[in-house]
Structure 1
Amino acid sequence: MEAELRPARPVAPVEPVKTTVDGVVREVRVPALAGVPERGSLGDIPFDNARQAPGEAVLARKGRDGTWRDVTAAQFAAEVLAVAKGLIAEGLREGDRLAIMARTTYEWTLLDFAGWAAGLVTVPIYPTSSALQARWIIQDSGAVACAVEDTAQARIISAERAHLPWLAHLWEFDTGALARLVKAGEHLPDAVVHARRAARTPEAVATLIYTSGTTGQPKGCVLTHGNFFAEVDNAVELLHPVFKSVSEDPASTLLFLPLSHVFGRMVAVGCLRARVKLGHAPSIATEELLADLAGFRPTFLLAIPYVLEKVYNTARATAEKMGRAASFDRAARIARRLGEKAVEGRAPGLGLRAARALYDPLVYRRIRAALGGRVRYVLSGGSPLGSRLAAFYTGAGIEVFEGYGLTETTGASTVTPPLRPRLGTVGWPLPGTAVRIADDGEVLLGGRHVFAGYWNSGQGVPYGSWLPTGDIGELDADGYLTITGRKKDLIITSGGKNVAPAALEDWLRAHPLVGQCMVVGDNRPYIAALITLEPDGLLHWRQMHKKIGVPIYELVRDEELRADIQRAVDEANRLVSRAESIRRFTLLQGDFTEARGHLTPSLKLKRGVIARDYAREIDELYRGPREG
């Protein structure tokens, strides 16, 4: 029964060591909870699991009939061994690069670990990448083999083969490539793979993950096996109840974020390392993802804020259709108050407890049910979640651990400390990590999880030195980090006011009608914004206002719609001073998409491209009388 499930209480985190300058905290370090192994690699994990707990379910696969079937540690190790032998039989040598272009699937993880067991370096490519993007990554990495998911992706790579003379192999999951690799390696003894595993060390390169490239060509981040061990082992120890136990249910997660992104990859490795049951969901289309969540029923999830916003907005729209919008809004306010009390470590009063008992079956349980029914923890990263949503989910019975990190840091560098959350921050440094604030406000990071440098660039970050992140942030008196913006995104108005756009954009993006938002105003007299409309939210608005047939070019000028967006802008403006507030906005007919070149694969804004493509609309925002 759901009511019987309660989060296990985590152990208190290690206290940070703070360094202050003139009374201001400028550096925070948290001692490591786990060290980097002296030998071995990620390729050893399946075999260590099989030796220690051969019958334990470490993965689950969804069959054609929709049923999830467990894969034991012994079964996964056997599959990894068989595919690794096939890779060796096909002529791949130690250190060769193997590119993988696919959605989040079991085959992705299987080939990743098989590649490591065979001594290879795996290179992820986003499944949505264009032909030129894929070609660049294969060329720059020097990959000699590439595995894709389906025929469409195979055609993309095939069309570029003339520019990739050293790409000797192109394999397609959907046409049985892994089975053929297993067949090819049947004649090889197991010892061939074990010898390659024995030769790998923590200092060896595990993967090249190419940054999304908000400007210019993506760069390959060289991440070693030791980088991953430093990251996942400390995360697993810190977030003990997330990775190791939730009441009587074994910990499990359904991974739907791309494995080509460091966030998804880090959690996949961490799950195998901690023997947390891992499932894969290749589609984030709402109906398909909700069906997978209902079938798999994970105990925790990792998500980007967009997914949590979508779940919240969908629930709110459903309530409005049922004529219960006011009730949902009251429940949301109660949840935020409950979340704030929990974060402050204070018990709710009698009135709040009664309200929770009322709204739990009406609203909160439905939110949890949408995530599968057993989720008690969410690891959120990729961009700031915002204190409103974090408080709402906490009050609804789902504890949120927010993190911050880069591809260059193998994922998270800070995370919400168990038992010590603080809304609006990204927590303390992960154990084994140090955070420093430079004189200009830039966040600097250090630790064993920091990458070895960029591929083919000669640029490296020696252990013990500081990695500049390009992010602006501050540390409070207790050592919590808050990210306030990007150094290169900082807007300076013609009046000399410095404005970090992230807070305004994050707040607006959480509104059901808003798809994306880009704040503008560099060298302009005031701040303005380009706003795109969320398709699902707009459809719901059309239905409620009886404007289904109105074309989009008329809707973006509709006074009722603009009034609703203006109220959201007014709410966002409460976060900042008058000089930093949004004075005007324009509603765009199209959306910012990756296909149009406006978003990176991880959904970050390409500000320069957007500013170029919408130069006329931006100019219009600064003509005529100013609104507000």
Structure 2
Amino acid sequence: MDEVRSKLCHVRHAVLIESGGPPPDDVLTFQQFLQLGDPFPSRLVGAAIERVRLEDLATVMYTSGTTQQPKGIKFSHLNIVSKRFARAIALPEIGEDDTFLCYLPLFHTFGRYFEMLGAIFWGATYVFMESPKIDTMVANMKLAKPTVFISIPKKWIQLYEKIAENVDIEMASEAALRRAVARVTGGRLRWGLSAAGYLDPEIFRFFQMTGVELMSGFGMTEATGGITMTPPGEYRDNSVGKALPGIEVRLAEDGEMMIRGPYVMVGYLHAKNSGIVDGWFRTGDIFTCDKDGFYEIVDRKKEIYKNIRGETISPQKIENLFSDFESVKRVFLVGDHRAYNTVLLYPNYDYDQVNFTKMTREEMRDFFGSLIVSVNQFLASYERIVNFEIIDRDFSAERGELTQKGTFKRKAVEENFRELIEAMYRKRYTIFRLGRFEVRVPNWFLREHGLTIENLKLAGNALVIPALHKRLRLRLTQQPETVIQIGELCYTADQGFIDLGEIVQHPVFWLGNLELEEFVGSALLRDAGSPPRKSRGVRVKLPPRAACPNLKAVREFRRLRKADKPDLRGLHLAAHLFVTCNTKNLQHTLDFFEKVLAHKDERVGRLGRIVLKRTQFAPNIERRRIAFHLLVRHERSERFKEVLDGFAKTRSLFTRRLIQEISELNLSRQQLQVIFAALRHHLNSDSPPGESERALVFSLLELLTAYGVRHPTAFKSIRAEMVRWTFDRRDEKIRKRAEAAFNKLRTGFRRWLGPNQQIAVSVETGTEYGWPDVLNFEDNL
């Protein structure tokens, strides 16, 4: 008593309700307490009762202060009395034969109103535990044999686990489970309520199956406790039930629950604003409601936040998913207006399956990283956790981080752990080094796959995700320049690093790389337009050895190639198959490229040209020739220079067959000028040509000769080019080849002209024409 008096200095009397012995001198017995009223006239008692109105203030109770400072809530007599009748209507079978086993403190609405005043209203027995610890709770259940137990989810979880110690929950019969529940709970438990947090539906179903009507509910101090509750026998997974009798509930446009009724508070103490507008009080909680009137909570409106892309995230929903892991004592989600979510995690050092004190930091990160991967599987990509930090102390009420209920004061937590939180957001990517070269994996890639940094590893010549059994080739090769193979394609970068995030967002980098697609997922291959300036130093090449054709791609391509409108998916598969498929399937790929290059969508056509241009590095030289021929037909502008410069580096590119096929085409003026310019580059060079340059000059002279013989409009300009080379005295072999080409050009042209020596060229348009253009046939001749 001395200790209590020192803390409650305004207390004048202490009353002992029941005791086995005499009370201390300064403590009244209950009989002495009643006798204090004897001198007071009964008529004055009656008058005092008559003065009290239902709307008068009866008591003040304080909120827990989850999101701000605690508020004093004013309750009228009507609030308290109406709530008791509402609960009685909702639970008509509870009565004087029931026993409440309680541990919730009397500053908790359920503890004060549902349990204590409820027991008085029903005439039931009220038993208060000396400690909320699970062993004490079980001992009290066996002693008091309660019929009603009301708790936060944690106690129901502990009770479930205690029962599981006595029986195999998965294998035992229903009768055996009922006996196990009866042994632990005292044998009379038939009513239960779980509220103020998330409880797995599996636990609800277990207790209901074993004879305990465990209900779900939602409430708040401002509503004198409960607002919704599962009607007995009507539990629905993840629902907090229907509105209790005596209260109106509706959802605002944003989903916020609004309430009105006789047991909604009068207002806040010492506050100008009562919080009630037109009779309605906004709860600050977001809900959904199904067609039958069952509500499901989303989160606190003030706690729900949006990431930097404007996507809405409920931290409580994500934090609740960790409740299944005994190894986690507490977890706190961070991500408000940030690119991705992270968590602060405090281990449960009492967990007997793992000794965390003997683990290294890396081992602990691997352990908890695997748990986060499991949680991420149940989340949308934008909700997933990318990084985490294991904190060295638990969150505490003394530091202002927790309310008396144990819920987070989020602003205080974020302020107290600010340095740790900011460290998790400093780097936007994870770096993997191959020699001096870097491969950067962006954090959003981890988020999309539900991974953390620990889940991505470099093993030999591959980037691996053990949890997903995924592997991506990463191999550094030293050629004339540093080249890194990523999947099926090779990349060079002027800046010394490759950003995997940039690669997967721009088709110029990922088209044809099916191994990359399998690693990152097809949903991540995007078309974000042209690459940004910082990525323009990245170039794509084909590896020295072609991969084997992907059989799934072959089957899918057979379906897509028949479409009239080629798309990126088809081009992606065609890019892979063009360099990997056998001759049998090659024609289908070529037909598809013909559609792509001729398509009116300039972007698709441009990407098709880019894919074909990269085949200048193909290991199969015949595929290079096919690609070159396709590009000659369709790249008719000044960009043909890039094509010729790239492919001309290939020795033996120009065969007689290829020259023949190109000479039969109608080259544009720009294409001819590009060929002339390539020859003049070698002609004007100060140094004598090498063997490869000489071979290229020979091939181009032969190509021009064949083309000039077939196309009289080009004869004059080609002849002039030949004459230049016949006067070149630097290289005798080239000069003689030029003279032979010139003679062949002149002879062939004369043979084409025939006896009349007239060129078949339209005077009006300057274009060539043949016999079908000038002969007319009369049907009746």
Pairs aligned (count)? 421
TM superposition shift of 1:151? 4.3
Question: What's the counterpart of residue 262 of structure 1?
Answer: 109
Which of 588, 597, 602 is equivalent to 2:405? 602
Conserved in 2, the CA contact under 8 Å of 1:472 and 1:485? yes
Unaligned runs of 5+ in 1: 1-149, 159-166, 332-354
Does 2:336 correspond to 1:522?
yes
Larger radius of gyration between Structure 1 and Structure 2: 2
Does 2:234 correspond to 1:417?
no
Does 2:363 correspond to 1:512?
no
Alignment of 1:493-572 (within 5 A): 493-536=307-350, 538=351, 540-542=352-354, 547=355, 551=357, 555=359, 557=361, 559=363, 561-572=364-375
Amino acid at match of 1:444: M
Q: Deviations over 1:458-505 (max 9, x none)?
A: 333669611001111111111111110111111211222210112211
Question: What's the counterpart of residue 209 of structure 1?
Answer: 61
Amino acid at match of 1:295: L
Amino acid at match of 1:541: Q
Question: What's the counterpart of residue 483 of structure 1?
Answer: 297
Conserved in 2, the CA contact under 8 Å of 1:415 and 1:426? yes
Alpha-carbon distance change, 511 to 393 in structure 1, aligned in 2, over 3 angstroms = farther
Alignment of 1:128-277 (within 5 A): 151-158=2-9, 167=10, 169=12, 177-179=27-29, 182=33, 185=36, 187-189=38-40, 191=42, 193=45, 195-241=47-93, 243-244=94-95, 250-267=97-114, 268-277=116-125
Which of 166, 170, 173 is equivalent to 1:356? 173
Conserved in 2, the CA contact under 8 Å of 1:447 and 1:463? no
Amino acid at match of 2:33: V
Amino acid at match of 2:219: G
Amino acid at match of 1:260: F
Alpha-carbon distance change, 215 to 486 in structure 1, aligned in 2, over 3 angstroms = closer
Question: What's the counterpart of residue 92 of structure 1?
Answer: none
Q: 1-side partners of 2:5 and 2:349: how far apart?
A: 31
TM superposition shift of 1:441? 1.8
**What TM-score, normalized by structure 2, do the two folds share?**
0.50
Alpha-carbon distance change, 564 to 399 in structure 1, aligned in 2, over 3 angstroms = farther
Alpha-carbon distance change, 614 to 372 in structure 1, aligned in 2, over 3 angstroms = farther
Alignment of 1:375-414 (within 5 A): 375-414=189-228
Amino acid at match of 2:173: R
TM superposition shift of 1:594? 2.3
Which of 452, 467, 478 is equivalent to 2:281? 467
Q: Deviations over 1:506-545 (max 9, x none)?
A: 2212421222221111121111212223343x2x124xxx
Alpha-carbon distance change, 200 to 385 in structure 1, aligned in 2, over 3 angstroms = farther
Conserved in 1, the CA contact under 8 Å of 2:216 and 2:235? no
Alpha-carbon distance change, 366 to 217 in structure 1, aligned in 2, over 3 angstroms = same
Alpha-carbon distance change, 186 to 475 in structure 1, aligned in 2, over 3 angstroms = closer
Q: Deviations over 1:168-217 (max 9, x none)?
A: 74859796645397288165247255553443332222210011112443
Alpha-carbon distance change, 227 to 482 in structure 1, aligned in 2, over 3 angstroms = same
Question: What's the counterpart of residue 146 of structure 2?
Answer: 298
Alpha-carbon distance change, 462 to 504 in structure 1, aligned in 2, over 3 angstroms = closer
**What TM-score, normalized by structure 1, do the two folds share?**
0.62
Q: Deviations over 1:86-120 (max 9, x none)?
A: xxxxxxxxxxxxxxxxxxxxxxxxxxxxxxxxxxx
Residue 353 of structure 2 aligns to a residue in which SS? helix
TM superposition shift of 1:445? 0.9
Amino acid at match of 1:572: V
- RMSD value over aligned CA atoms? 2.9
Q: 1-side partners of 2:46 and 2:141: how far apart?
A: 37
Greater RCO between the two (CA within 8 Å, min separation 6)? 1
Alpha-carbon distance change, 609 to 477 in structure 1, aligned in 2, over 3 angstroms = same
Alpha-carbon distance change, 157 to 182 in structure 1, aligned in 2, over 3 angstroms = closer
Question: What's the counterpart of residue 439 of structure 1?
Answer: 253
Alpha-carbon distance change, 609 to 315 in structure 1, aligned in 2, over 3 angstroms = farther
TM superposition shift of 1:449? 0.9
Residue 267 of structure 2 aligns to a residue in which SS? coil
Amino acid at match of 2:126: L
Q: 1-side partners of 2:289 and 2:91: how far apart?
A: 22
Unaligned runs of 5+ in 2: 17-22, 431-442, 452-781
Alpha-carbon distance change, 153 to 606 in structure 1, aligned in 2, over 3 angstroms = farther
Question: What's the counterpart of residue 311 of structure 1?
Answer: 159
TM superposition shift of 1:405? 1.3
Amino acid at match of 2:344: L
Question: What's the counterpart of residue 135 of structure 2?
Answer: 287
Residue 222 of structure 2 aligns to a residue in which SS? helix
Conserved in 1, the CA contact under 8 Å of 2:134 and 2:155? no
Q: 2-side partners of 1:449 and 1:570: how far apart?
A: 44
Residue 203 of structure 1 aligns to a residue in which SS? coil
Alpha-carbon distance change, 203 to 556 in structure 1, aligned in 2, over 3 angstroms = farther
Which of 164, 187, 190 is equivalent to 1:373? 187
Amino acid at match of 1:473: F
